Amino acid sequence: MSPVDITELIGIRTRHPEAVAEAASRRRRRPRLIGESGRLMIIAADHPARGALAVGDRPLAMANRLDLLERLCLALSRPGVDGVLATADILDDLLLLGALEDKVVMGSMNRGGLAGATFELDDRFTGHRPQDLDRLGFDAGKLLLRIDYQDAGSLETLHATARVVDEMAERQLPVFIEPFICHRTDGQLRNDLSAEAVTRSIAIASGLAGTSAYTWLKVPVTDNPDDMASVMETSTLPAVLLGGEIGDDQHGAYEKWRGALQLPTVQGLVVGRSLLYPVDGDVAGAVDTAVGLL
């Protein structure tokens, strides 16, 4: 990994904060979301803003920002990587580092549902707004939609999500919805990855807002990967697979992604921790393997 000069980066932020907007205005943009490969490979790094810093048995693995930036710069430099999903703080750093040229830049929109909090399901839109993404010349937004049938607050989350999808469509900006049906077990929020639950979440997400023209889905592989073909028949919206927690079974995760990528609506991958912090420490190798699946 090439070293990042953290002193220089902090110096720019301290003395020239306007440099972020200037870097955004100069950034070379891709003409379209999907490149020549016809697929989409995005590195996800929006976990820290929700307080989700753990990777495997390391509870603060993503807390070292210098280390994370070096890993991101390496991942973005690999052939076949189309772009990055992150919150404003990380994207601002990457802009200043010049790492976002000709890349898809996807802003993370709601990070208010902090991991482990009693209000975790109250996913307020605390990140990028549609007008921010438009102003900065970014290419897409992503939002998390978690629904608990036993929590009346989920209705407010659905309503807020629908209005944001409307605002993104008005600007002709793609928005990636990451839907889950959730429930609490012993006080812990769990995502239900059964075929029925994922099917239901896709149906709900697909029908939000006044148009679905600019809506994509960001979906998990179900507990039983053999169910993915029927699950993905729920919608005609284009979709990408998310990585999620894969533990030590990196090879098993690759095989699940490989199978799901054969389905007609699945257009690519949006994966974070498992590629940035692979078990063997080889970021370039993990990213190249994931790209090869496409």
> What pLDDT is stored for residue 247 in this prediction?
66
Q: Is 120 inside a domain boundary?
A: yes
Q: Is 1 inside a domain boundary?
A: no
Q: Tokens in use for 49?
A: 């803003």
> What pLDDT is stored for residue 81 in this prediction?
97
Q: Is 18 inside a domain boundary?
A: yes
Structural domains of the chain, count: 1
Q: Is 180 inside a domain boundary?
A: yes
Is residue 197 exposed (0-12), middle (13-18) or buried (19+ Cβ within 10 Å)? buried
C-beta pairs of 152-157 under 8 Å, 24+ apart in sequence: 153/121, 153/122, 154/121, 156/122, 157/121, 157/122, 157/123
Q: What is the pLDDT of residues 256-287, one digit of tens each?
A: 999 999 999 999 999 999 999 999 999 999 99
Which of 51-60, 185-194, 248-257 has the least mean pLDDT?
248-257
Q: Is 240 inside a domain boundary?
A: yes
Dihedral (Cα; 38, 43, 47, 53), 10-degree rounding = 150
Q: Which domain holds residue 11?
A: 6-293
CA 187 to CA 255: how far, in whole Å? 32
Residue 1: band (very low, low, confident or very high) from pLDDT cuts 50, 70, 90: low
Which of 56-60, 98-102, 200-204, 261-265 has the least mean pLDDT?
56-60
Q: Is 22 inside a domain boundary?
A: yes
CATH number at residue 161: 3.20.20.70
Q: What is the pLDDT of residues 85-131, one digit of tens each?
A: 999 999 999 999 999 999 999 999 999 999 999 999 999 999 999 99
